[in-house]
Structure 1
Amino acid sequence: MKILEKRTLYYLIALLYAILFYQGYMIFLNPFFGYAGFGVNEPRLTNYIFMIYTFALVVLPIYFFRGVNTISAFVCIFIFFLLYAPIQVTFYIDYDGEDMYVAYLQFLYFLGMCLLFYADRVKFKTKIIIPSNVDFFKVLLIVTILSILYMIAKFGGSLKLVAFEDVYEQRSATSELGADVFTAYLSSWLAYMYIPVCLAYGLFAKKKIYIIVGLIGSIIIYMAFASKTALVFPFVIYIMYKTLKNRSLKSSFTFMGIGLITVMIITLLLDFNSITALFWMRTIGNSGSLTLHYHYFFADHPHTYFSHINIINFLSQSYPYPGKALGQAVGNYYWGDEMNANANFWATDGIAAVGDLGILVSSVLLFIIFIFFNRISKNYNQLFLVLTLIPYITSVLNTSLFSSLFTGGALFLFIMLMFNTSVNNPYINENFNNNRS
């Protein structure tokens, strides 16, 4: 009975979220940001059967959600609220195409979301944990220190602690220094893997050296690239650790859903301001609009067939937009020469790669990543994994799966966890607190 009651609550939260997103799109995103691509297909709004169909597709994947029993289920919560639901509602409101075709696209996204929620049910007995006596966290600490020293030597006098309003000027000033392949990858791994893992491990193991190194690294990355997220990650990691260390993650769907709904209601009751714009356009609105424009663009432009992945293009030399990243190719076409329209895995590894059916292809790819990571993370404390994966979750929502794995360093984190079992690290064992899977 409790399971049914909880599932009913999930359905209600998902439905209310979708309805509020619809309202916010119509009374805020379209009136204020219609020029930026948040349009309205007026005739479709009178098709109430289509509206019911859309809201049903938003809610129904919850059937496959069983709570946060694995790390993939936690990531899926973010995908659902910040990506999937906005895409479904945006396609109903704005997609300029035949209703049956739009309904077909929505159904493909529905299948993809169901598959991702289902990942935590896949079980296999084969062990992929490799026993090792090496403390890879110490190795990572040394690598992080060496990376910080390299960044200091590389950027030298160009390192500046600038105000937020001057970040674009600083990025422009250091763009050439960080343009070589080695520096680009190292800085990305430092920001998205080394620093978050150091901070999370330092908090769990209560080892100040890891925390200090992580904080210094964050400051250096900000001084070099004016990356605001580099400064935000340490605060987010610390707040989440303090808030959740003695609590279960099993209420994450309810907590996040109600939290977003509350912010939706409050911001819609306020007059237009920067906070409302940041929340509605950048946080929850962009994913739907960008995905829609990727559909438009690749309806009459060449698909990449995964040549947007550097290693594949290195072998095939077949990338159809030389000199431009995928986001730049789309962004320049719709919004101007300065726009880099980075988008989610469904848009990049799906639509851009092979077209409409790429929605399912990219879902399967992420599904495979999920079941792999669920297996190797089985004995780890869930909160520790969540803290280290914050950058990865952010990346999955905004870039290609392969960029998230390689450029973002998530693949190296997965490999490290394969060797560095929780048995050798009691601080991050699943029994460290009550956040057991």
Structure 2
Amino acid sequence: MTPPFLMPRPNASSKALAQMSLVISSWLFVLALHSAHATYLQPIQEMWGFPYFPLKIDAWLLLLISTSAVALTLPRSLARPSSLVMFILYLIVFLPTMTITLAVHSQSVTKFGPSLGALTAGFLLINVLLQKARPRLILAQRGSPSSAQLLFLSVAFLALWAFIVISFKDVMTFATLDNVYGQREAGRSRNALEAYGQTYLAYVFSPALLAVGLVKRRLIWITAGALGFLTMYTITAERTIFLLPLVMVVAYKVMRMRAGHTALMSIVMVSLALLIHVSVQMIDQSPVFELISLYFVFRTFSIPGAMLWQYEEVFSEKTLTLWSNVKGFDWLVQTPLAFESDPKWPQLGRIVAERVLEKESNSNANLFVYDGLAAAGPVGILAICVVLGIWLSLVDRTTSRTGGQFACLVYIPVAFVLANGSIFSTLLSFGGLFWLVYFAASSYYHTTSRHQLHHKS
């Protein structure tokens, strides 16, 4: 079988056709989610932030133009970690945010237009710059760790796994659907060591061993990675931890397919649009469709899409945080007066849930909203896009020699964290900086070894 990275390059007409397929599939996804907003989210889930107003012509134009523009700049290959990250963010954050935000207010373009415009401009900027500055990625090399690296990953995994099991053995259980939030509370970390242990086991070392097993095709490593995911799910009951192994396996299969990645991205979006539409329409016919609507339509796509308007209700002008909620920045920037006496500060998600939804919950938002909009409005969104673009360019450079399939796989959990959290937390607590250092060291060792061999010869 000819790997996709060795296939002939498509001509200009086929490239244009492939990009248009991304535009059309994006529109289908948007239409399916918009219909779900009107027929499912507003009637059933409105208390979680889903009022609905029919879109006016200006809202439709902004929605279709923005999605088309960003779709045309999406990467044509998923052979780089940055490409996978941007496609996941496009699918889980950009499309839902544009679709839902424009339907939650009668004057949505006037009220939210600047923020949505900044989000669109930011995605365009990142996609264009990454494509122009892309280094060559040797995907033909699987990029699996060396013996020394695999030993390090295995020892770290076993140490973390043992620590987490000993610390939480009394609360580990498979929570029912009615007790998910109760299980999360029971499995909450009690100190910084437990917090870092949980996140690194779930989002760094378990994915690492699963990725090793996939690229090496070794069942023992796949089983070890799955054990790590399973252990963390019995503690935190997070749906992301449950879905990550499946997403990684599917991504690995996609990277090895003969079909072009652009076509595969289009197929993914059309399939998701169909699943959204069918599950919402059949919700009263079967408990299966009810579960799909709840966990897939509502929680996976719609919740991230509803965050921009909710955060904009709380953070504007005098209440912008200017990143004072971030450790380090709080030494330089004063807490806004509106939050100085708030016991929930600096947990922005809990503040938003209380003030907008009037609930004791945690409205965690994606990096563009949590780190960008809340900090400095539309300008903050653009600033965070710049930070994301710089980080992704570093990711591509550090993985260009020794990354391959392994690098693409281990950065998938990082992308999902960014879709629901802060980029600062992602870098420190969920492996963003860890993998930069890991692959930079691997690239340095690879280059040094080649130079030594060259001199000896």
Is the pair's TM-score, using the shorter chain for normalization, greater than 0.5? yes
- Is 1:293 matched up with 2:310? yes
Alpha-carbon distance change, 89 to 420 in structure 1, aligned in 2, over 3 angstroms: same
- Is 1:213 matched up with 2:224? yes
- Is 1:330 matched up with 2:374? no
Residues 303-331 of structure 1 deviation map (CA, whole Å, 9 limit, x = unaligned): 22223223433676748455441111111
* Count of equivalent residues: 415
- Is 1:312 matched up with 2:329? yes
> What is residue 103 of structure 1 aligned with on the other side?
113
> What is residue 393 of structure 1 aligned with on the other side?
415
Percent of residue pairs identical: 21
Q: Is the 8 A contact 2:37 2:52 kept in 1?
A: no
Q: Is the 8 A contact 2:130 2:389 kept in 1?
A: no
Structure 2 unaligned blocks of 5 or more: 1-12, 136-144, 285-289, 448-457
Task: Give the drift of 1:142.
Answer: 0.7
Alpha-carbon distance change, 315 to 160 in structure 1, aligned in 2, over 3 angstroms: farther
Q: Is the 8 A contact 2:226 2:245 kept in 1?
A: yes
Alpha-carbon distance change, 294 to 239 in structure 1, aligned in 2, over 3 angstroms: same
Supply the AA of the counterpart residue of 2:163: Y
After TM superposition, the structure 1 = structure 2 runs for residues 164-313 of structure 1, keeping only pairs within 5 Å, are: 165-175=178-188, 178-242=189-253, 244-247=255-258, 250-251=261-262, 252-272=264-284, 273-299=290-316, 302-313=319-330
Supply the AA of the counterpart residue of 1:60: A
Q: Is the 8 A contact 1:133 1:424 kept in 2?
A: no
Q: Is the 8 A contact 2:320 2:374 kept in 1?
A: yes
Alpha-carbon distance change, 153 to 33 in structure 1, aligned in 2, over 3 angstroms: closer
Q: Is the 8 A contact 1:145 1:213 kept in 2?
A: no
1:372 to 379, 387, 394: 394
Residues 244-280 of structure 1 deviation map (CA, whole Å, 9 limit, x = unaligned): 5444662342132122122133224323423223332
> What is residue 62 of structure 2 aligned with on the other side?
53
> What is residue 45 of structure 2 aligned with on the other side?
33
2:84 to 69, 74, 78: 74
Task: Give the drift of 1:145.
Answer: 0.8
Supply the AA of the counterpart residue of 1:373: V
CA RMSD of aligned residues (A): 3.0
> Which whole-Å CA distance do the structure 1 matches of 2:335 and 2:103 have between them?
35
- Is 1:384 matched up with 2:406? yes
Residues 125-147 of structure 1 deviation map (CA, whole Å, 9 limit, x = unaligned): 8xxxxxx9983232121111111
> What is residue 113 of structure 1 aligned with on the other side?
123
Q: Is the deviation greater in 111-120 or in 210-219? A: 210-219
> Which whole-Å CA distance do the structure 2 matches of 1:64 and 1:169 have between them?
42
> SS of the residue aligned with 1:355?
helix
> Which whole-Å CA distance do the structure 1 matches of 2:299 and 2:173 have between them?
27
Supply the AA of the counterpart residue of 1:142: V
- Is 1:5 matched up with 2:17? yes
Supply the AA of the counterpart residue of 2:294: A
> What is residue 154 of structure 1 aligned with on the other side?
167
Residues 106-154 of structure 1 deviation map (CA, whole Å, 9 limit, x = unaligned): 32121011012123224388xxxxxx99832321211111111222332
> What is residue 433 of structure 2 aligned with on the other side?
411
Q: Is the 8 A contact 1:203 1:211 kept in 2?
A: yes
Supply the AA of the counterpart residue of 1:256: V
Task: Give the drift of 1:233.
Answer: 3.0
Alpha-carbon distance change, 108 to 158 in structure 1, aligned in 2, over 3 angstroms: closer
> What is residue 149 of structure 2 aligned with on the other side?
136
> Which whole-Å CA distance do the structure 1 matches of 2:170 and 2:29 have between them?
48
Alpha-carbon distance change, 316 to 142 in structure 1, aligned in 2, over 3 angstroms: farther
Residues 382-427 of structure 1 deviation map (CA, whole Å, 9 limit, x = unaligned): 54333212221111111111112211122101211111249869xx
> Which whole-Å CA distance do the structure 2 matches of 1:375 and 1:388 have between them?
16
Q: Is the 8 A contact 2:112 2:309 kept in 1?
A: no
Supply the AA of the counterpart residue of 2:49: G
Task: Give the drift of 1:340.
Answer: 0.2
> Which whole-Å CA distance do the structure 1 matches of 2:58 and 2:225 have between them?
52
> Which whole-Å CA distance do the structure 1 matches of 2:58 and 2:204 have between them?
46
Q: Is the 8 A contact 1:70 1:374 kept in 2?
A: yes
Supply the AA of the counterpart residue of 2:60: M
Structure 1 unaligned blocks of 5 or more: 126-131, 426-437
2:74 to 65, 69, 76: 65
Alpha-carbon distance change, 292 to 145 in structure 1, aligned in 2, over 3 angstroms: same
> Which whole-Å CA distance do the structure 1 matches of 2:134 and 2:406 have between them?
23
Q: Could you state the TM-score of these two structures normalised by the residue count of structure 2? A: 0.81
> Which whole-Å CA distance do the structure 1 matches of 2:108 and 2:217 have between them?
58
> Which whole-Å CA distance do the structure 2 matches of 1:173 and 1:4 have between them?
52
> Which whole-Å CA distance do the structure 2 matches of 1:201 and 1:249 have between them?
24
